[in-house]
Amino acid sequence: MSNPNSEDEFEDMASQDDLDAQESEREQEQFLKDFQSKVDAASAKNFEPVEGFRLERWSELKLQIFRNEVMYEDVIESLGLTEEAWDDIDGKWMMRIERDTYQDAVTKAMDAQKQQMASQAEAMRGSGDLAPVDGISLEAWAAAQVKLLNGMTVNDVAKELKVEMPVWDRVSAEWMARMSRDTTATIATVYGQAFMGASQGQHAAAGQAAGASMNAGAGAMQSDPVSFERWVEISESQNAAVSQGIDPQTDLEKFGVSLNDWVNINSYWGQKYAVNAMAYMEDYTKFSDKYREKYAAPDANSDIDF
């Protein structure tokens, strides 16, 4: 005579197996949809082939393997590749599309943040927090700071704005106070945009591009003022100079760059790197390590013989 409890337990186990199989199938379908979506998004970026394999060819083979339409070993054999070679190609393409997906998400998030900041700035203009101080707007004050950076005296700046020095001091103190009170950093952001927009010098265009990139929906930044590697090199040299007690402006002289030039260059690449971090990350790490070692302080004990 059969045990009713055992039969019930068997049916429950079979039912759970069916549910697990259905869940696994749904997960597989979702994975394939997500993978195809990432490939479709990446296809518009015109990536260079990896070891001769274009995105379309690799993704086609990858999907066939995922769907068990072909055996992994058969694919490798038909391509005349070793397992290590295919895994290298596969890994590089997977990394590319994952980075591309992540970067798109970052870009959307940054655009949303910029839009929010623009809305907050508009609200502050209405509330008076961005109203001019003694007739001097935040933008005019930011442009004056650029002129000071480029060597104009504060007296000449005040004369250009047609104000006496006590008024200039009061205006500067108030704008500084407003920025420090603003917990949303909206005023500081508007100041930064205005400051970069008023850039001067040989790399003024780079500074202006950096300012423009802070707006929502800004296009890609073009015409790099210096190469990405050069920017990383100067950055590491500046870091080393500070740690070694060397005047940063003196350090810049060996690169033929003024402080004003560096502000523009650094603002440009800082913004461009933030928007394209995944694309630059590998090179950034490589260049950063290279130049950190180059400009490191010499070992104080390197010349001591024991």
In the block, tokens 């260079």 appear at 48
Q: Is 189 a domain residue?
A: no
Cα 276 from Cα 226, distance rounded (Å): 17
Q: Is 262 a domain residue?
A: no
Q: What is the structure's pLDDT at 14?
A: 60
Q: Is 64 a domain residue?
A: yes
What pLDDT, in 10s, does the model give residues 7-60? 666 566 667 667 767 777 788 788 788 888 888 888 877 788 988 889 898 988
Cα 185 from Cα 124, distance rounded (Å): 12
pLDDT of 233 > 50? The answer is yes
How many domains is the chain partitioned into structurally? 1
Q: Is 172 a domain residue?
A: no
State the residue range of the domain holding 80. Answer: 11-103
Q: What's the chain's average pLDDT? A: 83
Cα 58 from Cα 49, distance rounded (Å): 9
**Which of 5-22 are b and which e, b meaning 16 or more Cβ less than 10 Å from the residue's Cβ?**
eeeeeeeeeeeeeeeeee
Q: What is the structure's pLDDT at 194?
A: 87
Q: Is 228 a domain residue?
A: no
Cα 250 from Cα 295, distance rounded (Å): 14
Q: Is 238 a domain residue?
A: no
Q: Is 60 a domain residue?
A: yes
Q: Could you tell me the CA-to-CA distances from 33 to 26, 75, 99, 222 in Å, in that order? A: 11, 22, 18, 34
CA 151 to chain centre: 32
State whether residue 53 is helix, strand or coil: strand
Q: Is 25 a domain residue?
A: yes
Average pLDDT over residues 258-279: 84
Within the chain, strands assigned E span none
Reported as a pLDDT band with limits 50, 70 and 90, residue 304 is very low
